[in-house]
Structure 1
Amino acid sequence: MRENGPMTRESAPIEDWYDGAYPARTTAKLFSDQRWRLAGAAAAYAVKHSPVWLMPVLTAEVIDIVVEKRPLSQLWVVAAIMAVVIAQNLPLSVLYIRWLSQSVRTVETNLRMSLARRLQELSIGYHRRMSAGVLQAKIVRDVENVVEASRQTFDSTMGAVSTLAGALVLTAVRTPEFLPVFLVTVPIAAGLVFATRRRMKDRNAAFRKQVEAMSARVSEMTHLIPITRAHALENRELDRLDGTLVGVRDAGIRLDMLNGRFGALAWITFQLLSVACLIGAAWAAYTGTFDLTPGDIVMLSSYFMQLTGSVTVLMNLAPVITKGLESVRSMADVLSEEDIEHNDGKMSVPAVDGRVTFEQVAYQYDDAAAPAISDLTLDVPAGETIALVGPSGSGKSTVLNMVIGFLRPTSGRILVDGQDMAELDLRSYRKHIAVVPQESLLFEGSVRDNVTYGSKDLSDEVVLAALSDANAAGFVEEMGGLHAVIGERGSRLSGGQRQRIAIARALIRNPRVLVLDEATSALDGTSERLVQQALERLMAGRTTFVVAHRLSTIRGADRIAVMENGRIVEVGSHAELVASGGAYAALSTSS
C-alpha cells in the first residue's frame, strides 16, 4: 500500500483476507498498514492531553503553597509550568489530527474501493439476487460506521488511557495508600460491559437489517416513481415505505433504550464511587490516618473524578464498537462472497472473428425446478445475424446472457472462434462485444460522455460519425451538441433517442459480436423505423444475436432459431420457416 494514498491495484486486496466472522481481528488488520501513523498519533495525543492529568497535581501544589505559606517564587514557577503544559496542546493537537485523519481516511477509501471492486467481480446472478439499495448501504453506511467507530474509539481510548495512566502513576507517587481504591473501578467496568455485550450485538444486528431493508425500499420507490405516479399509486407506495420506516424506528428505539440504560447505570455507579473516594480522603486527613495535605485531598478528588469519567467513557464506547463491528460483519456479505467471475490467469482474447458455437449446452438457475436451457446445440458463423424467437420463458434471454458470459453453462460448452469460453478471460472477450438492451442504460453526463463510455480518447469527428450512423446527429445538434447534458438515466431523451445513443455507443466500440435484446420493442412506429435503420448499419458484417417479439423486426435475419421450453425446435430463414408450417409459422400468423 502506498504510504500516502489509497490501496493500489498492485496491493493485496482486502477481500482476499477479509473475515466477517472475526470482526475485531479484521478491523485490526484493516489498520495494520497505518500502525506507524497511529503510533505517532498516540504519542502526540498522550503529550497534548497531559494537562488533564498534570493540572490536579499542579493545582494541589498551588493550594499547599498558599496553605503552608511557602515562598511566592514557587507560585510563579508552578504558574509557568502550567502555561507551558497548556500551550503545547495546540501544535500537538494539529499533529495528532493530521496523523489520525490520514490513517482513518485511507482505510475508509480502501474499504470503499474494495467493496466497489468486489461488486465489479461478483457474478450477474449475485447482483440479481441482491438489492441495489442494500449494496449501497454497505458502501456508504457500513463503511461510515466502521470509520466513525474507529475514530471515536481511538479518540476516547487515548484520552481515557492517558488520563488513567497519568492519574494512577501520580497517585502512586504522592498517595500510594489510595491506589487500591482506584483499581476497584476496572473490574466493575468490565462486569458491566460483559453483562450487556450480547444484547448490544443482537440489537445492533437487528437495527442494521432494518436499515438495509429501508435502503432497498427507498431505492425501489425512487425507481418506480414514474409508474407510481402514472397509476395514482402514491399512497400505496407510501404505505409500503411506512411499514419499513416503522420497523427502523422500533429497532432504533430498542437499541437506544438499551444504550441509555447501560449509560445511566455506568454513570450512577461511578458517581457513587467518586463521592466515596472524596469522603474517604477527607476522613483520612481529618483523623490523621494518612499523612494527607489539603492539596492531596483536592488532587485525589480530581483524579477519582477523572478516573471514573475515563472508565465511563470507555464503557460508553461499547455501543459504538458494537455498531462498528456489526458493520464489519455486514460488509463480509460482499467482500467474502465467493460467487465471483474468475478471470485472472485465463487466456486473453486480443481479437475475435465472431464464430460462436453451442455444444449440448444446458443451464439451470439455482432457484429453478427445471433447466432454462436443455441440450442446446447451435453453430453461428462469423458475421451471421441469428434471431431467437419464442414465448416468454423459452430461454432466449438466458442464451444472450451466456453469449455475453454473464452465465456459464451447467453442462456442455460454448466456443468462441473454437476456444472454450470457460478458458477465456471474459474481460478481454467483452471488449469485442456490444449490447443494446430493451432499456438503454445511460448515465447523467453529456452526450459525448455516454457515447464514448470506455473510449474517452476518440475525436469529435469519430463521435459525430457514430451519431450520424445511429440516426442521432439531428436531435443531438438540437440539444446543443456533444456536450449537451442528457439528465439522469437520459431523462431529457425519448425512448427512441436513448436507443440511438446506445447504438452510437455500440458503433464506437466497433464490436465483432453484437447482442440486441428487444432493442425496439418499447418504441413507437416512427422511432422504431429510425432505430431499425441504425441497427442495420450496426449489424452489417458482425455476428449478431437478436431477441425480438415483433417478428417484423427480424425477418431479414440470416437465420431464425425458434425456442420452446429451453430447446431449439426449428432453425431457418424467415421464408423457409414460414413455408415449413411449423412453430414459426404459427407465431407469424398470431402476430
Structure 2
Amino acid sequence: MVGALDHRYRGEHPIRTLAYLFREDRLKLLVAVFAFLVKHSPTWLLPLITANVVDIVVGHRPITELWINTAVLLVLLLLNYPFHLLYVRCLHGAIRRMGMGLRSALCRRMQQLSIGYHSRVSAAVLQTKVIRDVESVEQTTQQAGDMGLSALTMLAGGLVVIALRVPAAIPVFLVVVPAAAFLVMRMRTRLREDNESFRREVEKLSTRVSEMTTLIPITRAHGLEQDALHRVDGTLTRVLRKGLRLDLLNGSFGALAWILLNALGVAFLAGSALVAYYQVIPITAGDVVMLTSFFATLTSAVTSLLSLTPVISRGLASVRSIGEVLQAPDLEHNGGKDEVVSVRGEVEFRDVEFAYGEHGADGDAPAVTGFSLTAVPGETIALVGPSGAGKSTVLNLVIGFLRPTSGRILLDGRDMETLDMRTYRRFLSVVPQESILFEGTIRENVTYGMADVPEDRVRQALRDANALEFIDRLPDGLDTVVGERGARLSGGQKQRLAIARALIRDPRVLILDEATSALDNRSEALIQEALARLVAGRTVLVVAHRLSTIRGADRIVVMRDGGIEEVGTHEELMRMRGVYAGLQSA
C-alpha cells in the first residue's frame, strides 16, 4: 500500500488522497449512502405527513387517509434500526479500514526511512502522526459522513417535497434559508474567536503550573513559595476574567441567535399564513405547517454544512501532515542490491568522508574525513577521541545507517553500497550505550526477532552475559516482564540483557557504543567480563568513554575532527606520548 499511496499522494490535493484511500470500499460507501437515505427519511417526510394529517382534520377527509399516513411513518421509523446498523457497518467500517491502512503505511514508511531522518525528526512527532493525525482524519470523515449526509439529505428531501407540494415557495426558501444560516454562523464565528482566546489563556496556565511543579525543590529550598504562588495567582485571575467574559458572550450570543432564528420562523409562519388566508397562492393549512417546519429544519441543515468547514480543514491538514512522512525522500534503498549470505568480518574504509546535512551540502563541515582503516576478521578496534571527533559516525557507517559522502567501505572486499543492508545486519549486533528494551518478558527481549530458540541456548547466552545471577532470583525467571523500556531493571541489568541479545545471534561483526558508561564499578566489572566472551573471534569496533576499558584492544584509533591522529596498541601509543597519552593523563 505504501508505494501506491506515495504515488497517489505526491503533488495531489488531500481530498484525492482520501478518495484513493477509500477506493476498495467504494461499493460499501454507496450502500452506506442508500442506507442513510432510508433511515433518515422520517426527518424530511415528517413535515409532509404532518401537513397531510392537518388537512385531513381540517377538511374532514376520510379517516383511512389518517391511518395510511400514520402507517407509512411508523414503517419508516421501524426501518431506521436495521438500516442504521447497515450504515454504521459500511461507513464506519470503511473509515476504520482507512485508518488502519494509513497507520500501516506510516509504520512501514518509518521502517524504510533512514536513521538520519529519524535523528532529525523526534519520535514524539512521528507518534503524533500515527495516532493523533490518523485519528483526526477518521473523525473528519466520520463527522462529514454523519453530519454532512444528514444535512444534504434533509436539504434534498425537503426541497423535493416543497417543489412537489408548493413549488411557488422554492424561490423564498432558496433566499431566506441560506441568509438565516449565514447570520447564525456569523455569530458563531465571533464566539469561536473568544473561545480561542480563552483556550490560549488556559494553555498559559498549564505552562505556569507545570513550571511551578518542576521548580518546587528550588522554590522550597529558597523559601520562595509565596513568589511562586503569586506568579500562578496572576495567571489564574486572567483565566477567571477571560472565562467570565466568555460565559457572558456565550450567553448573549446564544440568546440572540435563538431569538433571531425563532423570529425568522415566526415571520415565515405569519407570512405563509397570510398567503394561505388571502389565497395569494393556493396552499392549505397543512402546507403552512409544513413550510414552517421545513424552514427550521433546512436552516439547521445549512448551518450544519457551514459548521463542517473547520472540521474538514483540520482533517485535510492532518492528511498533509501524514504526507510529510509518506513523501519523505530520505529512504534506505535496498531493493535490487546483492543479498549477503555470509560474512567473514573484514571491514575496510577507503578514504571515507561523511558530512551531515542534505547530501553533504556545501558549508557542512565533514564529521568524518580522509578516514582509511582496515579491520581484519576477529580484530578488536577501539575508537577514542574527544566529543565530536566522529567516532559514532564511523560506527553508524559500519552499521549502514549512514552512507559515505565520498570514498568506499568494503565488507569482505565487496562495496557496501552494492549490498542489501537488511541481509548484512543479520550478521551484525549492536550493544548501545543505553540498552533498549520493550514491554515484554526477559526471554522475548533476548530472542527478539528469533523464532523457536531453545531454552538452553537462551540460558547459555544469559550465563555468558553474567545475567543469570540476577534472573534466577526473580520470581518468574525468564518470563519476568521487564516493564516499559526495562523500567523494572537497573542500568547494569539492562546492559547485560543487551549483551545476551547480541550473544545469542552469534554475530560476525560487533558494535559496542560506550557499553559500560554511566555504570557503577561492580556492574562495569560484570559487563567487562561478559564483553570479553562476546568479542572472542568476532570483528569488533568499540567506542568507550573510559579509556581503561579498551586497553586490551588489538588496535586503538585516536580520532580528532573526523580524521585519524594515531593508531596503535595501548603500549605503542603511550610510548609515542601523543594525543592518546594526553587523553590518558587528562
TM-score, with length taken from structure 1: 0.86
1:248-287 correspondence to structure 2 within 5 Å: 273-287=264-278
Q: Give runs of aligned pairs for residues 391-430 of structure 1, distance below 5 A.
A: 391-430=386-425
Write the letter of the residue equivalent to 1:454.
G
Structure 2: segments with no counterpart, 5+ residues? none
Aligned-partner Cα distance in 2 for 1:218–1:137: 24
The answer to whether residue 338 in structure 2 is matched with residue 340 in structure 1 is no
Deviation at 1:262, TM superposition (A): 11
Cα distance in 2 for residues equivalent to 1:401 and 1:265:
65
**What is the CA-CA distance between 1:128 and the residue it aligns to?**
1.9
Shift of 1:190: 9.8
Q: Which residue of 2 aligns with 1:386?
A: 381
Q: Measure the CA separation in 1 of the matches of 2:577 and 2:478.
A: 50
1:290 to 281, 301, 307: 281
SS of alignment partner, residue 138 of structure 2: helix
- Comparing 301-310 with 131-140, which one deviates more in the overlay? 131-140
Give the SS at the match of 1:312.
Answer: helix
State whether structure 2 residue 454 is matched by structure 1 residue 459.
yes
Query: Which of 137, 142, 158 is residue 149 of structure 2 equivalent to?
Result: 158
Residues 21, 256 of structure 1: alpha-carbon distance in 2 compared, 3 angstrom cutoff = farther
Deviates more, 1:19-28 or 1:569-578: 19-28
8 A Cα contact 1:133 1:218, kept in partner: no
Name the CA distance, whole Å, in 2 between partners of 1:117 and 1:453: 19
- Deviations 1:442-476, CA, capped at 9 Å, x for gaps: 12211011101111321212111110111111111
Query: Aligned runs of 1:545-560 on 2, under 5 Å?
Result: 545-560=541-556
* 1:532 equivalent in structure 2: 528
TM-aligned CA distance change 1:397 to 1:12, over 3 Å: closer
Q: Which amino acid aligns with 1:83?
A: L
Partner of 2:575: 579
512, 516, 540: which is aligned to 1:516? 512
Aligned partners of 1:509 and 1:218: how far apart in 2? 49
Aligned equivalents of 1:204 and 1:148: distance in 2?
A: 21
State how far apart, in whole Å, the 1-side matches of 2:247 and 2:14 are.
Answer: 22
Structure 1 residue 565 and structure 2 residue 555: aligned?
no
Q: CA deviation at 1:430?
A: 1.4
1:475 to 470, 473, 481: 470
SS of structure 2 residue aligned to 1:184: helix
Q: Which amino acid in structure 1 is aligned with residue 373 of structure 2?
A: L
| Alpha-carbon distance in structure 2 between the residues aligned to 1:356 and 1:438 | 22
Q: Provide structure 1 residue ranges, at least 5 long, that are not aligned to the other structure.
A: 1-9
CA separation of 1:419/1:214 partners in 2, compared to 1, >3 Å: closer, same or farther? farther
Indicate how the Cα distance of structure 1 residues 159 and 289 shifts in structure 2: closer, same or farther if over 3 A, else same. same
Distance, in Å, in 1 between the alignment partners of 2:229 and 2:28 is 48
2:58 is matched with which residue: 48, 53, 67?
Answer: 67
SS at match of 2:448: coil
Does the alignment pair 1:372 with 2:367? Answer: yes
1:18-37 deviations in whole A, cap 9, x for unaligned?
A: 24872223222222222111
> Does the 8 Å contact 2:109/2:325 carry over to 1?
yes
Q: Distance in 1 between matches of 2:230 and 2:318?
A: 29
**Percent identity between the two aligned chains:** 55
Counterpart for residue 438 of structure 1? 433
Shift of 1:298: 0.7
Q: Distance in 2 between matches of 1:173 and 1:500?
A: 81
Aligned residues of 2:178 and 2:302 also touching (Cα < 8 A): no
Q: Which residue of 2 aligns with 1:448?
A: 443
* Counterpart selection for 1:542 from 518, 529, 538: 538
Q: Letter of the aligned partner of 2:40 in structure 1?
A: H
Q: Which amino acid aligns with 1:176?
A: P
Q: How far off its partner does 1:378 sit?
A: 0.7
Distance 1:308 1:198, change over 3 A: closer
Pick from 117, 124, 137 the counterpart of residue 146 of structure 1: 137
Q: Is the 8 A contact 1:204 1:323 kept in 2?
A: no
Is the 1:20–1:26 Cα contact (8 Å) retained in structure 2?
no
Partner of 1:3: none
Residues 200 and 319, structure 1, Cα contact 8 Å, conserved in 2:
no
1:99 is matched with 90
Q: Give the superposition deviation at 1:523.
A: 1.5
Q: CA deviation at 1:369?
A: 4.4
1:58 corresponds to which of 22, 27, 49: 49
More deviation in 536-545 or 368-377? 368-377
| Alpha-carbon distance in 2 for matches of 1:202, 1:558 | 69
Instruction: Write the mapping of 1:201-280 to structure 2, written as runs, cut at 5 A.
Output: 273-280=264-271
8 Å CA contact 1:122–1:340 kept in 2: the answer is yes
1:293-332 equivalent positions in 2, closer than 5 A? 293-332=284-323
One-letter amino acid matched to 1:434:
S
Match of 1:122 in 2: 113
Separation in structure 2 between the aligned mates of residue 42 and residue 168 of structure 1, nearest angstrom:
19
Contact 1:13 1:114 in 2 (8 A): no
More divergent stretch after superposition (19-28 vs 464-473): 19-28
Q: 1:500: which partner in 2?
A: 496
Q: Residues 73 and 189 of structure 1: is their aligned pair in 2 closer, same or farther, counting only changes over 3 Å?
A: closer
The question of whether the paired residues in 1 share the 8 Å contact of 2:397 and 2:404 is answered with yes
Show CA shifts across 1:98-134 (max 9, x none): 1112101001111111122222222222222222222
Measure how far apart 1:239 and its partner are: 13
Residue 128 of structure 1 aligns with an amino acid whose one-letter code is: S
**Following TM superposition, by how much is the alpha carbon of 1:532 offset from its aligned partner in structure 2, in angstroms?**
0.9
Mark the CA change 1:193 to 1:271 in structure 2 (over 3 Å): closer, same or farther.
Answer: closer
Instruction: Assess if the C-alpha contact under 8 Å between 1:433 and 1:514 holds in 2.
Output: yes
- 1:269 Cα offset (Å): 7.0
For residue 401 of structure 1, report the CA deviation from its aligned partner. 1.0
CA deviation vs aligned residue, 1:128-150 (integer Å, no higher than 9, x gap): 22222222222211111111011
1:569 alignment partner, SS class: strand
Amino acid at match of 1:281: S
Secondary structure in structure 2 of the residue aligned to 1:474:
helix
**Residue identity matched to 1:448:** R
TM-score normalised to structure 2 length: 0.86
Change (3 A) 1:197 1:59: closer
1: CA distance, partners of 2:564 / 2:251: 65
Out of 411-420 and 148-157, give the one that drifted further. 411-420
Do the aligned residues in 1 keep the contact of 2:2 with 2:109 (CA within 8 Å)? no
Contact 1:451 1:463 in 2 (8 A): yes
Distance 1:215 1:404 in 2: 43
- 1:44-68, Cα deviation, whole Å (9 max, x unpaired): 0001111111111111111111111
Distance (Å, rounded) in 1 between the aligned partners of 2:208 and 2:4: 31
What residue number does 2:69 align with?
78
Contact 2:512 2:543 in 1 (8 A): yes
Shift of 1:216: 13
Q: In the TM superposition, what is the alpha-carbon distance from 1:551 to its structure 2 partner?
A: 2.1
Deviation at 1:352, TM superposition (A): 1.7
